[in-house]
Structures are given as structure tokens and as C-alpha cells.
Amino acid sequence: MNLLPKSSKEFSSAEYWEKFFKKRGDKSFEWYGTYTELCGVLHKYIKPTDTVLVVGCGSSELSEQLYDAGYRDLTNIDISTTAIARMQERNSARRPSMTFLCVDAQRMEPFADGSFQAALDKGTLDALAPDGSPDTVERVGRVFAEVGRVLRVGGRYVCVTLAQEHVLRAAVEHFSGEGWAVRVHRVEGQEGGFCLPVFVLVCTKFRRPAEGSAALPQILEVCEGEEGPPRRLGAPEELLGAVMEIQAYALLRSQLASHTDPAQTPTLQLCHTHTGQPRYSCHVVDSPAGATLHRASHFAVFIVPQGRETNWLFGTAEGRSQLAGSAGFRRLVVVAMHRDQEYQDMQAIQSELSAKVMELAPPGLPANHQVPFLSVGGDLGERSVMHRGSSTFSGDFVVEDVRGDEGRLYRRLIFLSNSSVVQSESLLRETGNPAGSGRKRNRKKKGQRAESVQAPPLKGRGQAVDRSFLCCAHHRVMVSGLALLRGRGKDLAESPVSVLLVGLGGGALPQFLHDYVPGSRVQVLEIDPAILQVASGWFGFEQDDRLSVTCVLCVSAVTTTFQCPLRRNCTYDVIMFDVDSKDSSLGMSCPPPAFVEQSFLEKVKSILTPQGMFVLNLVCRDPALRVGVLSVLRGLFPLIYDCGIEDEVNEILLCQQGPQEQALTPPELLSAGQALQGVLRRPGQPWDSSLDIAALLENLKIA
């Protein structure tokens, strides 16, 4: 027999419930759990001596079981005459002092003001609020007003609910607006047959302040279990957010308890119990069917060292999938630690995570399975936040120092709106160390020594930026592209190059061009003044007569700026775009879409010298969007070289105006790369020996 309504809106109609209980007969119906499952929470908020109004009793056994547990003053109301008649018949002899009345919760005229000390609602609010429409809001508002009227000061509205967002929002906004204390209590170990967890909403009526006196502060709290103190929150939106996080976790557990698509990597955050601040990010990765697994390799946890969470292997879905495949486990949970949280050691982290990660275990996990915790050398890593700031364009950001590969210290700029991406990065070293301790990055041939250019000490901390060292792989490729100018890199030594760069970041790329390309003149356009301050104050960036930054007000203003060189009859040998998009919903995170529109790229082409080159850092995950960008570029630049970046989404497009027939052959690329290396690496000038221009040019292909 199907007892579900055709539409959820029917839940709020008297006709539906009348039909429901006639079909149901004498059998009781329990919403969201039994008395045994709920009593631990209910007994906290309703005393046996309280006068209790049960709102929407239906045929539930809850009030009967409360009666048997010593609660005698129980008044039950329901909109269904059938339900009330059957409940009266069922209880008249065994529970003579319990009352059943056919009353609409929206109009409780039989009860005087302040008649009850508690109002108990199990599922009725959810039934009355199937959606967030104006009619629903008005209907539940009448119920809330009546509940508030019939409750005494100090009385409690105790509502068992799934706490869907529109339901919880209506209740929280109403009762907190009336000055009531609001607490949302998670019922432990109870899913009620639903994927969503069950909550008990407890709203306590306070006496209204006298007219003219100060309003009482809002009391908004969440309890995630029967034990432990509630967590105080500052605003209704925070309370709603906390409940939604609990619901998301329950849905994830439900999904993981069955099976997951290996192509998907569900993610959740584990927050600090008392502060509610994020403490761990957990990515669940399942191996594909047929993958080779280790013996007894059901489940493992991998702890990512602090500062390494942005590495491709840990910070991308593709990387984590590769990590899980190499680890050989059926399910691997990759755990990253959050900044602003303190961690003692690996053993303490294991103890903290053990109980929670077991809830993410795959189905069929053997009993008493010992879950291995893996890491990189058992090291927690090292991360120090050096500076915090906020930008009108980029939002909140941090500058942090991170101990990376081989103990090297890196300074990073991270936009917190996309904290898995390093916006800018520089290698640091102690100012007392000899030049050349700046070390290798990527590949370093045996016997070669990496030297460094250093800026003045930063903020008096005895550290300097190694300006010879380009941390970002895409910056290395962009610099290598200079070898294509005029067909041979050696020409740079004979004729200074002019560069227009859009996007400053920490300033590593323009600073390198200034320091290493003889006679170069570099002009930078940056839309964010805060980033210029960060680059100068924390990344050793310095302007002079050959390196300058112009701050424009917005992305659209860059278009206007590109028109100015035409009026001044000014052209550039190289124009580089290394600027990210602030819209994370797009399939292209670099550059902003306006920068690859044909009309804008026509302006770019118009201010290039005849042998000049346009260099684009493209980060695009949408194949169709990428095809569109390449189509526009091919219409303007007949010769385009493409260089992908290993283990990154970035690709560098080197666009020239000559025909494809002028493309350099592999031997010519090798010669051009060696020539450029000779120009950049001059006698007496510090140099990072891991920067191999010729090797980078080997990866070029015609787009």
C-alpha cells in the first residue's frame, strides 16, 4: 500500500491526513524515529511534571510512551478527526488522564495564553512546510505565533525535524526575532529511514524586555550529540550553515556506505568541536574496479604535510587519484590540515581522526580492521602565516612561509577564496648564506651549482627572495619563449626587448625579466593595488626606470589601457598575460574571459612589433571553451606554439604573426634555447642551474 502523497504540498492539507489515517487503520505511524531513539534528547528539555502540548500527534506512540515513563499532563492535538478518535479509543482505559482533541495548530482557541510549559512537535512542522513559498511561510508563522501564545515564559517548543533549510530558516528567524533562545540538537545514531539526520529544535521562550530597554542578545546554539556542551553561534546564518554541514556529512556517509564512482572524489571538512573552525579537509578516493590492490588493502588514511596541500598530487582530483592508485588501497582518505590550527604530532592527529575516518570506511570492511595512517616521512610539515590582508578584487588573502622539498623555505601568496591554488611563490634563503644556496627546482644535473640573486632583506627577518629562482613552472616556460623572438635568442643581447605584462602576482616573473634580460623594459598592468603592496613588501619586488607597474581599476579598464600605446605610437616585442579570473564558476580560471575575446586580442596584436610575440598562460578545464579560445587565437596569429606543464592544468601559448612555415625545427629550437641561456646566464651573474631553456623548448608543439 502506497501511503506517500503525490505532491509534498499535500502534507499540509487536512484532506490528505484524513485519508492517510483511514488507510493506516489502527497501526501506529512514527515519523523520524521511535521513543527509544529520541528519549535521550527529549528528557533533557521536557520534565515529567511539565504540562505538555503534543502538536500533531497523529497515530504516533510517542505521547503514550512518555505517559508510561511518568509524563501525565499530556494534551494531544491533531487536524485529523480519524486519528484523534482512534487515539482516544486506544488510550481511554489504559491512560485515562491523557487528552486528545481535534484542533488545528494554526488556531488553538481552546487553550488560554500560557497554558503549557512545553510544546512537543514530531514531524508536524515539516509536514506543514513542504516548501519555502509565501503561503507556507504564512502558515507556519501562524503555528509559531500560537505556540508562542500558549507557552509560558520559560516554556520550550521542542520540534523533531529533518531541518530542511527552508523549515529551519523559518523557525530560527521567527523565534530568534521574538527574543527566544534557539538550539538545534542532533539526534545521535538516528537517520529515521532518511539520508538526512534527525534534529530536535528547542526554542525557549524568554520574557520580552520592557519597552525602551536594551534587547537581549541572540542565543543560537548547535549540539552535535547527546554529550558535550552546545556550540554558541553569532547569527542565524551561522546556525543554518552548521546544520547544513552536519547534513552534508550524513549524506556523504550514506553515499560512501554503498559505493562511490572512482571518477568522483567526495570531499568534506571536519571542524573543531568548540570553535567550529575547519580543521581537516578529507578527500575520499576509491580505486577503480579491477585495480591491483595490496593484500588486506581495504582502507587507509594519508596525512598531507602542512604546506604541501597545494601540490598537484594532493591538491587536485587527478593527483589524488594517482596517489590512491600507487598506494594500492580500495579506499584512501587524503587528509589536509588547515592553516590557523595547531597540531601536536602525527600520533595526536591519528588519535583525533581515528573515530571520524572510520565512518568513511568502504562497505564490507572486516571487523576490527586496523586502518594504516600514511604520510611523507611522518613529517607534519611547517607553515607560518606571515601576513593577512584583504583586497576589493581578490577578497581575503595570506602570505605564508612553507617548508617544502629538501627543507627549502618558500613564501606563498594564497587567495582564501581558492586556497588550493598558490597564486605566487618565491624561494627564500637566509641573507647570511652565500649566493647559490638557492638550490635546485625540478631537475638539476650532477655537479651543477644553483646560485641566486637576492633582494634586500624582507621585513627585517633576515631572509631574502632568491630572484634567480622561478618557482612557478609556467613562468619558466614563458621566459623560455623569448628564444623565439626574431628566430634566435641571441638577438636579445643586441637589441633590448620591451615587455608588457598583465598580472603582477608576487612579481617574480617581471623581476626576473628585469634582472636577467639585458636592457629589457618591463611594464606591468595590475588591477589590484593590494597585490602591488604585497609584492613590494613581502616578495622583494622593486620598481625602477626599466620596471614599472600601472594599477588599473578593473578588468574592463585594461582594454582602455591597451588603446593608449596606439595613441603614443608605442609597440611591444612581447605581451604576456598571466592573470587569473576571479569567477571560480567558469571552466577557465586564467585569464578572465574578456581577455580572450576577439576584439580585445585584436588590440593586443595591434601593439605588437612585426616580429613580436603574445604569450598566454591558459588554465582551462572546459574542452569546448579551450577550443573556442584557440579558434580566436588562430584567426589572429598564424603561428602558435603550445607547451603543457607537467602535473598542472596550465598550458603556455606562444603566439606569433608569421606563417606556420616559419616554425622552428627541433634543431633550431635547441640552438635558440642554448643562445637564450647564454644571454641570460652572464659571467658573474648568479644563476639557478635547474633552469634549462633548451630542455623546456623540447616540449613545444604547434597548436
For the chain, what is the mean pLDDT? 83
Confidence of residue 26 (pLDDT cuts 50, 70, 90): low
Q: What pLDDT, on the 0 to 100 scale, is given for residue 376?
A: 84
Give mean pLDDT, residues 661-672: 91
Mean pLDDT of 373-378: 84
Q: What is the 3-state secondary structure of 533-552?
A: HHHHHHCCCCCECCEEEEEC
**Cα gap 563→500, rounded to integer Å:** 13
Give burial (CB, 10 Å; 0-12/13-18/19+) of 552: middle
Q: Please indicate whether residue 631 or residue 438 has the higher confidence score (pLDDT).
A: 631
pLDDT band at 5 (very low <50, low <70, confident <90, very high): very low
Domains in the chain, start-ordered, CATH in brackets? 29-247 (3.40.50.150), 259-374 (3.40.50), 383-465 (no CATH), 473-702 (3.40.50.150)
pLDDT at 457: 47
- Contact by Cβ (8 Å): 185, 199: yes
Nearest to 361 by CA among 372, 351, 346: 372
Residue 613: what are its φ and ψ, rounded to 5°? -140, 140
Give the whole-angstrom CA distance, residue 65 versus residue 405.
63
270-274, 283-287, 469-473: lowest mean pLDDT where?
A: 270-274
Contact status, residue 321 vs residue 373, Cβ threshold 8 Å: no
- What local confidence, expressed as pLDDT, does residue 627 receive? 94
Task: Name the pLDDT band for 298 (thresholds 50, 70, 90).
Answer: confident
Intra-chain end-to-end CA distance of the chain, in Å:
63
In this prediction the pTM is 0.68
Flag whether pLDDT at 174 surpasses 90. Answer: yes
pLDDT on residue 340: 83
Coil vs helix vs strand at 373? strand
For residue 271, the cross-strand partners are: 278
> pLDDT (tens digit, 9 = 90+) per residue, 226-267?
666 888 998 999 999 888 888 877 777 777 776 656 566 788
pLDDT at 333: 92
Q: Who wins on pLDDT, 586 or 45?
A: 45
Amino acid identity, position 319:
G
Of 417-426, 442-451, 464-473, 555-564, minimum mean pLDDT range: 442-451
Residue 43 confidence (pLDDT): 93
Average pLDDT estimate for 509-520 = 94
**What residue has cell string 643586441?**
494
pLDDT band at 563 (very low <50, low <70, confident <90, very high): low
- Range list of H helices, 213-270: 236-258
Residue 170 scores a pLDDT above 60: yes
Reported as a pLDDT band with limits 50, 70 and 90, residue 24 is low
Torsion (CA) 554, 560, 566, 568 in degrees, nearest 10: -80
Residue 456 carries which DSSP code?
S
Among left, alpha and beta (phi > 0; psi -120 to 50; other), residue 671 is alpha
Does residue 436 surpass a pLDDT of 50? no
- Region of poorest pLDDT, from 28-32, 66-70, 182-186: 28-32
Rounded distance between C-alpha atoms, residue 169 and residue 563, angstroms: 51
Is it the case that residue 441 has pLDDT exceeding 70?
no
Residue 584's pLDDT is 67
- Of 141-155, 228-242, 499-513, where does mean pLDDT reach its minimum? 228-242
Percent of the chain with pLDDT over 90: 48
Q: With cut-offs at 50, 70 and 90, classify the pLDDT of residue 138.
A: very high
Phi, psi of 403 (to 5 degrees): -85, 115
State the average pLDDT over residues 109-136.
93
List all residues 6 or more positions away from 31 whose beta carbon is below 8 Å from its beta carbon.
58, 60, 122, 123, 126, 160, 192
Q: Is the pLDDT of residue 553 over 80?
A: no
C-alpha distances in angstroms, 322 versus 148, 271, 307, 657? 57, 27, 20, 40
How far is it, in rounded angstroms, from Cα 375 to Cα 343? 15
Specify the pLDDT at position 56.
92
- Report pLDDT for 34: 82
For range 643-656, the mean pLDDT: 90
Residue 636 has pLDDT above 90, yes or no: yes
How far apart CA 308 and CA 383 sit, in angstroms, is 9
Residue 195: pLDDT band by 50, 70, 90 thresholds?
low
**CB-CB contact of 622 with 649 (8 Å):** no
* 4 pLDDT tier (thresholds 50, 70, 90): very low
Cell of 660: 606556420
**pLDDT in the model for residue 62:** 92
Q: Quote the pLDDT of residue 564.
A: 56
The amino acid at residue 628 is G
Most confident of 17-21, 156-160, 294-298: 156-160
pLDDT bucket at 413, cuts 50 / 70 / 90: very high
Q: What is the tens place of the pLDDT at every residue in 60-88?
A: 889 999 999 999 999 999 999 999 999 99
What's the pLDDT at 356? 81
Res. 635 pLDDT band, cuts 50 70 90: very high
In which band, very low, low, confident or very high, does the pLDDT at 329 lie, cut at 50, 70 and 90? Answer: confident
**Residue with more model confidence, 499 or 684:** 499
Distances, alpha carbon 311 to alpha carbons 308, 354, 396, 650, in Å:
5, 25, 21, 14
Residue 122, strand partner residues? 160
Question: Who wins on pLDDT, 348 or 647?
Answer: 348
Residue of 263, 629, 681, 184 whose CA lies nearest to 452? 681
Q: Give mean pLDDT, residues 574-603.
A: 88
What's the pLDDT band for 646 if we cut at 50, 70, 90? confident
* Between residues 586 and 452, the one the model is more confident about: 586
Residue 262's pLDDT is what? 59
Pairing of strands 373-374, 299-304: parallel
The confidence band for 402, taking pLDDT boundaries of 50, 70 and 90, is: very high
